[in-house]
Structure 1
Amino acid sequence: MVEAQTGMKKLIPTMVVVVILIAGWVYAANQNYFREEEAEQAKLLGISSADIQAITLHEGTEDKSGTGKGAGTDSDAVSTLELKDGVWHMTDPKDYPLNEYSVGSWLDAVSSAEQEMVVEESPKDVAKYGLGTAATRLDIKVKDGRDFKLAIGSQLPAGDAHYVQVNSGAVVAVKNDAVANIALTRRQLLDTTPFNMDESNVRTLEWEGEESSWMLKASAEGDTASEHSWTLNGKTIKAEDAISLSSQIKNLTTADDVRKASDLKNAIPRSTLSAQQQVNGKAVTGVYRLLTTSSEPDTIWVITPDGEWAYGLDAASLKEVEKYAEKLKTSTASSEPAK
């Protein structure tokens, strides 16, 4: 009898551990730590990108980074895009120029997103999933008149997916990669590069300003930029140096929303860039005006050739381009044979 009681006492700690483990497993399962019983993947919306006619993005303030370090944005910025005559336009807050590639990729991501599993079929409290007012939301209109309201919440405890809800339906899990391609910001959809150039098409770039003046020219021979012969102020330079200079200009991007050129007041001319390109057998020239304002001395505003938009560039970045051009001028001058 004593031996039996002693044996039972020895089993008690083991039984306590087993009970704790079972309770922990049940909690973890309820929190979706385990994914063994995932439902078969299904399309989140069941539409194609060609079906989408309009889409409104509410950026929200919920953290989508997965770092848990707080909100992803400071305010609920709202942007509306509409398809008109086969071309996407931003209609709210302004008709900002769009990056067609970025918009196309975004619509593909929205239409192709898949749900991994159903988390809760009939949720009564969506706030616990991050699907309250802080959520990123998309209001989508499609050709057949249907509307979809898609909300993206916080991450699942497992960290590999986000809670998502469509039209106040079930809360489902959507993989992080898919969410990252859907929950964009307005700036990610805008055309942020003012200089519309293709190095292979460039025939002449002429920069005129107080800090730097030069002319870069390409020969007509060759189909690519590396096959052209290049001169800077009439002196031969390497193709890679010419491509580097034009690429540095082309890749300058604005750090903020684009402005209407008419909104710039008391702007002072700084320099101009005239870009001549050969496009579909025709010579096309665009003149970009670079301006400064006393209120924003660290920003140089680039006015597009149509005179409609102003892109604010970091003055230091643009000065680096000017320094590089001056360096090329110096190197070509020093390489000239002495007379």
Structure 2
Amino acid sequence: MTLSEEKMNMFKYAFALVVFLTSACLIPHAQAATTCDSTNVPYTLNAGTLSVPTTLDIGSVIPGSAKTHTINGSCSGTISSHTIISCYYGTGTEVSGMPGVYSTDVDGVGIQLLNSSGQIVRGKGYSCDTTATPMGTVSSDGGQTFSFSYTERLIKTATHIGSGTISSAQDPFGFGVFQSVGISGARNTSHYSATVAERTATCSIDPLNLTVSLGDFPVSQFTHVGSYTAWKYFQITATCTEEVNLTASVTSANGVNSQYDDVLNLTPGSDSATGVGVGMLLDGVDLKYNYPIPIGGTTEPGVPDAVNFAVRYYQTDATVTAGKANTIATIDMEYQ
């Protein structure tokens, strides 16, 4: 080997060594992956079978639909945020005028999620930002633990609802650390399952027919237009299958006095009295002819609700003549 060959080989070795060392400098240090894990997801909230009364107001929570679940776990690695959020991952659309309520595959029924503070969480898609209504936080200590609860519930979104099963696959909500990772990765979802049907409210009235005797009164007791006898009280009981609001109105085959819309005419006849009519009260309020008046508050399902009425004679003309003073009244009670 000549001297020149030895130098060339040395340069080759030196060059190879430099390349090796330079390459070694570019190899990065291995880092642990960032994860947040929990054994509490995925999870399905099962509400069973729900009957929705037709009288339930639009926008109201469907009775028995609210279900709560708690998620515990911890994170490892470096997380860019400590705020845990939730987003709607389902195929439904947000119902107009109802923030955070998403349509389901049952007509007239929407789904909604609340955090543990009772705040409605509104945001759809895998990259939504619901940090204004957080689910919870990851602790800043070495354990990086978390624990939070949430509630899902169904909302009535139309006057009438359909019947069917809410698909647990259609309406999931997802949980994760904001701008970081999902809790348990792609398994970070909560699903909801329920069978829903509409239920018609009914009310029964007792008695259906009633005769109220006002008694006998001398003509001399009626001294001027507007004079009257004492009230005679009676009750009608309404029993409803649902919580409803009742109203009552009165009509009569005899009609109403032309001057007083809260005084019923007497039954006409050759032997009937004249100059008086019959007035009625409902819970202390004058019952105007064919004018519905609310009855108290909301009824309790299956519990009889006593409705208080009263009747009396009322002088409508300057002159009163003796005779039979009967009338027929029809009380119409409606519920909604």
Question: What is the TM-score of this pair, normalised by structure 2?
Answer: 0.19
Pick the structure with more helix per residue.
Answer: 1
Q: Which gives a bigger RCO, structure 1 or 2 (Cα 8 Å, sep 6+)?
A: 2
Larger CA Rg, structure 1 vs 2: 2
